[in-house]
């Protein structure tokens, strides 16, 4: 179960994981995933650094792979350092679709602009 909490002055709700089964390390990783903005991606390495465990990239990837709430806890927004997709419990086609959907949604709402090429 997750709980949504509106934070004063924030444009989006903050999600707090409650009653989710997992180790303390997994929960730290999953909580960090909730901070990734819609339509954006970060690397497994970045997640490891953000939780203060920069050398635990593989452990972070394993924790992400055990995420019990895909999409709600957006593990699809985590990619490899070289920006390739990496893994996803629902398959790479699904991950690709989710990322493209989020980016198109942001673009269509005017939050992203096309880059001009000379």
User: Which amino acids are annotated catalytic?
Assistant: 75
pLDDT recorded at residue 20: 78
The whole-number pLDDT of residue 42 equals: 96
**What's the rounded Cα separation, in Å, for the pair 12 and 37?**
10
| pLDDT digit string, tens, across residues 40-55 | 999 999 999 999 999 9
Comparing 59-63, 93-97, 106-110, which segment has the lowest mean pLDDT?
106-110
SS3 89: coil
> What does pTM read for this prediction?
0.76
Can you tell me the mean pLDDT for 81-97?
91
What region, left, alpha or beta, does residue 71 occupy, with left being phi > 0 and alpha being psi -120 to 50 degrees?
left
Q: How many CB atoms lie within 10 A of CB 23?
A: 10
State which of 2-6, 11-15, 92-96, 105-109 shows the largest mean pLDDT.
92-96
| pLDDT given for residue 108 in this prediction | 74
Q: Which of 26, 38, 39, 19 is nearest to 67 (CA)?
A: 26
Spans of all domains in the chain: 2-108
CATH 1.10.10.10 given to domain 2-108: yes
């Amino acid at each position: 179960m997750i709980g949504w909490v509106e934070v004063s002055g924030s444009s989006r709700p903050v999600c707090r994981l409650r009653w989710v089964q997992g180790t303390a390390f997994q929960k730290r990783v999953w909580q960090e995933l909730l901070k990734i903005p819609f339509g954006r991606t970060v690397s497994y390495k970045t997640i490891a650094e953000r939780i203060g465990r920069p050398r635990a990239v593989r452990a972070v990837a394993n924790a992400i792979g055990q995420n019990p709430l895909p999409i709600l806890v957006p593990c699809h927004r985590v990619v490899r350092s070289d920006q390739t997709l990496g893994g996803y419990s629902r398959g790479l086609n699904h991950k690709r679709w989710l990322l493209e959907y989020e980016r198109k949604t942001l673009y269509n709402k005017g939050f992203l602009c096309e880059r001009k090429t000379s």
